[in-house]
């Protein structure tokens, strides 16, 4: 993973007649992160509207940024900048602009972030502040990395490293080299990555790197050594170093054991690979279900390679039980988050109300004005409540979508089909479709948490779903997906899992009683400022069930209604001479 290292501003204030600010800053930094905001807030109340105010806003903004509360950080950095614009304090202005940009970057608003960081860098260069210049270059590198512009990322990371070397800051040199190695590794350039890992090794990283980062370095170094030179013994040497650091500092070694297992898997030492995957399972956090599912999937692959059918079935059963727990926990956690957010919102509303009541004046005219303001606030709160209700409805629909797509009936049918191939002694087919099925589950859990995904991700998921169903139904149908050449699947954004209800309906109902081969044709086109979907099948036709149950198509229609009236009205489903046709459109949104 890419390390975006935070830097402390070199901005310093001299003693004031009231207190030693540098000493106060050091005392506040000793506090836990979540308590620093309250400390700066208290100082702001004491020193509002004086020369210290912009500095205090900056420090509180930095504390918010450190806790990833980016909206509040942006507000404080902006207040500090507005006050500083009246002065000529380029050092403080540069620090504010750089962190304002970094806060926008964390909110995925990269264009705005780049504008502010460059503005801060220009000021830092004018005053030749090396610390601020290094921090600005580092944040730009992070933005280019997120945009997958790896050449620019490396260019700015090298600038950070040059500044760190000039200032004899060994820790920052090592961090920069490590980031450069990671970028080269992402590009597939293992030899250049290895070159930078060797540079880090020559700088005695054990003396300056934190234990956790040192473990990551040893693991990456060992993996790159094997990828480039196939020197297994040298790779194992660095994995063992990583393990020693973990034991010494009481850090979970599950990730390190996975590196051991992966190396033995690459060298076809399956028994050793299984041993270390099991060791990783023994030490992994019991609440980390995703890692547990990954490790069980790897063990299943090992059993397939060794054709241990009994052990394989046992591993599949264990993995299935963990998936069931994961699904329940996922649903429960989301509900709890929603309840907590509503409680926080209520507390904020009550606090705001109390502040306004305490500011009432005895003069009638002011009282009337306050009542008018309160009326506006109440109207605003009702509007916010409607928005929350809307979000809650979307949340419930997302859960229904997940349950409708990954229901136990579907899961056990697919597993039953995979089990049949095992009993037919066809481990390659079993491994292929087990891997595809595991990917489908991961995609579902990932996409259901996001408001929008790229069209490419949606198509990848629906390909995976259709291929899994084809395997389950023994090639009873085929399909074609056509995408308009004027659409870029990587850039077009759509709500997640919009196609699945219709292809599921075609497969489960439209093709249920036909004697010929089924066919699904999906067309995705651009019409003015809309992206339109057309799903056509040659099944038995559209025959909606008349019962009191809520079906997948009912959920989809509610989802369209919540997105917008125009989107809902574009939805049409019609019965053809042979089969069914569905059409609906969304506003064209690009990343």
Residue 155 has what pLDDT?
A: 92
Domain-wise residue ranges, the chain = 450-590
Distances (CA, A) of 122 to 98, 264, 361, 468, 511: 10, 51, 48, 55, 65
Residue 94: beta bridge partners?
none
Nearest to 430 by CA among 416, 440, 419, 439: 419
Confidence of residue 536 (pLDDT cuts 50, 70, 90): very high
CA angle 40, 46, 51 (to 5 degrees): 85
**Predicted confidence (pLDDT) at residue 329 exceeds the cutoff of 70:** no
Nearest to 178 by CA among 129, 231, 215, 136: 215
Show Cβ contacts of residue 388 under 8 Å, excluding neighbours closer than 6 positions.
342, 345
In the numeric block, the tokens 């207190």 are attached to 19
User: Rounded to 5 degrees, what are φ and ψ at 506?
Assistant: -65, -45
- Written as six digits, the tokens of 78 are 């902006």
Measured on CA atoms in the order 159, 164, 165, 167, is the torsion positive or negative?
positive
- Rounded to an integer, the average pLDDT of 76-81 is 91
* Candidate from 467-476, 531-540, 581-590 with smallest mean pLDDT: 467-476
Confidence of residue 533 (pLDDT cuts 50, 70, 90): very high
- Written as six digits, the tokens of 580 are 């069914």
Confidence of residue 78 (pLDDT cuts 50, 70, 90): very high
Residue 38 has what pLDDT?
A: 82
Class of domain 450-590 as given by CATH: alpha beta
**Predicted confidence (pLDDT) at residue 334 exceeds the cutoff of 60:** no
Distance CA 366, CA 371 (A): 9
Residue 97 has what pLDDT?
A: 92
**Predicted confidence (pLDDT) at residue 29 exceeds the cutoff of 50:** yes
Residue 585: beta bridge partners?
532
- Rounded to an integer, the average pLDDT of 304-312 is 79
131-185, pLDDT tens digit by residue?
Answer: 889 989 988 998 888 888 899 999 999 999 999 889 888 888 888 888 898 899 8
pLDDT averaged over every residue in the chain: 81
**Predicted confidence (pLDDT) at residue 532 exceeds the cutoff of 90:** yes
Residue 22 has what pLDDT?
A: 67
């Amino acid at each position: 993973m890419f390390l975006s290292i935070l830097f402390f501003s070199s901005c310093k204030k001299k003693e004031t007649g009231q207190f030693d600010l540098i000493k106060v800053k050091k005392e506040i930094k000793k506090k836990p992160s979540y308590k620093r905001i309250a400390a700066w807030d208290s100082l702001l109340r004491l020193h509002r509207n004086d020369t210290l105010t912009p500095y205090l806003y900056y420090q509180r903004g930095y504390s918010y940024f450190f806790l990833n509360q980016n909206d509040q950080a942006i507000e404080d950095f902006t207040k500090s900048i507005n006050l500083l614009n009246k002065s000529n304090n380029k050092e403080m202005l540069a620090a504010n602009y750089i962190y304002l940009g970094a806060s926008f970057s964390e909110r995925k608003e990269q264009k705005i972030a780049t504008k502010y960081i460059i503005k801060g860098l220009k000021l830092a260069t004018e005053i030749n502040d090396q610390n601020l210049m290094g921090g600005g270059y580092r944040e730009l590198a992070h933005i280019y990395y997120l945009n997958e512009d790896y050449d620019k990322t490396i260019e700015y990371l090298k600038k950070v490293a040059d500044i760190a070397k000039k200032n004899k800051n060994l820790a920052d040199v090592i961090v920069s080299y490590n980031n450069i190695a990671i970028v080269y590794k992402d590009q597939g350039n293992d030899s250049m990555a290895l070159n930078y890992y060797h540079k880090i090794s020559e700088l005695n990283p054990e003396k300056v790197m934190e234990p956790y980062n040192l473990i990551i370095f040893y693991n990456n170094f060992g993996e790159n050594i094997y990828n480039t030179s196939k020197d297994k013994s040298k790779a194992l040497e660095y994995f063992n170093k990583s393990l020693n650091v973990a034991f010494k500092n009481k850090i979970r070694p599950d990730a390190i054991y996975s590196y051991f297992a992966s190396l033995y898997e690459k060298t076809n030492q399956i028994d050793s690979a299984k041993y270390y995957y099991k060791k990783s399972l023994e030490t992994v956090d019991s609440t980390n279900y995703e890692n547990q599912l990954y490790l069980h999937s790897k063990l299943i692959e090992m059993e397939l390679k060794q054709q241990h059918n009994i052990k394989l079935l046992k591993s599949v059963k264990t993995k299935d039980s963990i998936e069931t727990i994961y699904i329940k926990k996922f649903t429960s956690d989301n509900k709890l988050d929603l309840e907590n957010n509503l409680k926080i919102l209520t507390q904020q509303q009550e606090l705001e109300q109390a502040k306004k009541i305490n500011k009432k004046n005895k003069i009638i005219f002011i009282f009337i004005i306050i009542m008018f303001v309160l009326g506006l606030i109440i109207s605003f709160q009702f509007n916010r409540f409607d928005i929350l209700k809307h979000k809650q409805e979307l949340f419930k629909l997302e859960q229904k979508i997940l349950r409708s797509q990954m229901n136990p009936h579907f899961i056990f049918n697919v597993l039953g089909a995979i089990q049949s191939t095992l009993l037919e002694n066809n481990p390659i087919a079993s491994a292929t479709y087990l891997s595809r099925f595991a990917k489908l589950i991961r995609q579902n859990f990932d996409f259901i948490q996001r408001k929008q995904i790229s069209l490419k991700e949606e198509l990848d998921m629906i390909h995976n779903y259709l291929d899994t169903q084809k395997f389950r139904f023994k090639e009873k149908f085929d399909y074609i997906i056509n995408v308009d050449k004027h659409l870029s699947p990587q850039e077009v954004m759509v709500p997640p899992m919009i196609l699945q209800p219709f292809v599921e309906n075609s497969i489960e109902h439209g093709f249920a009683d036909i004697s010929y081969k089924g066919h699904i044709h999906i067309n995705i086109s651009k019409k003015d400022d809309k992206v339109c979907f057309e799903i056509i099948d040659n099944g038995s036709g559209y025959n909606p069930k008349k019962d009191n149950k809520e079906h997948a198509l009912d959920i989809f229609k509610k989802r369209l209604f919540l997105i917008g009236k125009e989107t809902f009205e574009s939805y049409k489903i019609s019965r053809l001479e042979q089969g069914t046709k569905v059409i609906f459109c969304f506003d064209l949104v690009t990343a």
